[in-house]
Amino acid sequence: MDRGRVTFDFTGAEIRGDLEGRNPPIFLPCLQTAASPLVAIDIGGTLIKLAYTASCGDGSELRFATFEKHRLDDCFEFIQAEGLVPSKDDFLNKLHVHLDKLHEFECLVSGANVMLKNIPGTAFTYMDGKMTTVDVSPNNLFPYLIVNIGTCVAMIKVTGNKTFEFVTTTNIGGAFVFGLAKLLTGCNSYDEFLQLCQKGDNSVLDLFVKDICGELISQKVCVFIVPIV
């Protein structure tokens, strides 16, 4: 294994638990328990994201966890409790644990490619409250577009295993929406914000065709012809 590079065998891998739940683990039957669990950490502008391996009897699981950025100490306590590193001080001082800095978007593209090629249920549609998985052929995967919604939003065109290019970016992302939500609702945490989203009704604020043209007009198909000068 090269420094900073880990090779997984994804044969028989599957998503376990509730597919519609938050952060369901990925079962890896061909990954045996390592002496030291593997952990990756991404400290973003709004959230801290963790991916780590853990033993689960007949194999291993790739598990995920998130923390708000201001809860950095809670994140370190979680890492210590899970036995991912010997202690919080060791992690902070880079002792007894090897840390490698990797390019964020290279990791994002590589991870998306691996998931789409090897993990059933990775691709799905969500319409009218119903989730439907989509079969993706590894031989017909490219090109596709990643819309990475983080503190900012980045759109990335992926044309190969290690080939991608930025299409566009915007500053309106998770941090902007969370800040707006705090001003409008008074919520104090990102988790509370997500819970409010599940209970909310966007029709209270969104402007629909019927609001402009009336209820009867909105039920008909309107065709607007724009002259080309």
% of the chain at pLDDT higher than 70: 80
Catalytic (active site) residue 104: yes
Q: Which DSSP string do the residues of 57-83 spell out, in sequence order?
A: SSSEEEEEEEEEGGGHHHHHHHHHHTT
Mean pLDDT over residues 128-136, rounded?
85
Sketch the domain layout of the chain as residue ranges: 14-102
Edge-first strand listing for the sheet containing 47-55: 14-15, 26-28, 60-68, 47-55, 39-43
Q: Which of 138 and 33 is assigned the larger pLDDT?
A: 138
Q: Residue 149's beta-bridge partner residues? A: 153
The predicted-structure confidence for 21-32, as pLDDT tens digits, reads as follows 678 899 999 887
Q: Residue 130's beta-bridge partner residues? A: 127
Mean pLDDT over residues 71-96, rounded?
66
Q: Which of 173 and 129 is assigned the larger pLDDT?
A: 173
Name the catalytic one among 104, 106, 165, 215. Answer: 104
Q: What pLDDT, on a 0 to 100 scale, did the predictor assign at position 128?
A: 79
